[in-house]
Amino acid sequence: MSSTLLTSIEEELSLAYLHAVCARAGMSCLPPTRKLDNSGVDALLHKEFSDAIYPQESDSWLEIQMKATKKHAAANGEGLSYWLKEVKRYDVLRDSTRHHARILVVLFLPEDPETWLSHSEEELILRRCAYWKTLRGDGPISTNTGANIKLPKSQCFSPKNLQDLMFQLSLGKFPQNVREDEVS
């Protein structure tokens, strides 16, 4: 397969992962408008908290920049590293003046594309996992080639963690990264 085709497959699988997690978490995953797409938003997540479990009635919105990679560089045992080659994208992700929270979500796929997805009558398996990180408020980078983003393993992009993120947003709290030394 050509590298262009592999990159397209990576992108589509990352969006499939995102939609599956959102569906399981009970929230909407909306495609971006052209304007949002041009500013680095791959999806807009929405959750309405208006049932008996949550005392307040509030909507939460979360903008997602989705990436995928088959490179698994360790970040000194603290998580995974992802090279974000778009400096403009990094600057948008770190912008602390945005109204909605925005996070980077990276799906780490196996190196062998033949193992990315398997299917049978009993199951559909997408291998490996995605992790998230907020860059809100991070400083500028000193290079014009990109930034090495370290994603904590404690910030798995799972249905439960997404529900927790959205609940915090409903309380007016922006996502915060968890330091690996804080995880018990």
Give the separation between CA 94 and CA 171, rounded to whole angstroms: 21
CATH of domain 3-176: 3.40.1350.10
> In the β-sheet with 79-84, what is the strand arrangement from edge to edge?
73-74, 79-84, 147-152
Percentage of the chain beyond pLDDT 70 is 85
- What are the pLDDT digits (tens) for 11-68? 999 999 999 999 999 999 988 777 666 677 889 998 876 654 555 557 888 999 999 9
Residue 115 has pLDDT above 80, yes or no: yes
DSSP string, 53-117: TSSS-EEEEEEEEEEEES--EESTTSEEEEEE--HHHHHHHH-TT-SSEEEEEEEE--SSGGGSE
For the chain, what are the domain ranges? 3-176
Give the separation between CA 134 and CA 115, rounded to whole angstroms: 29
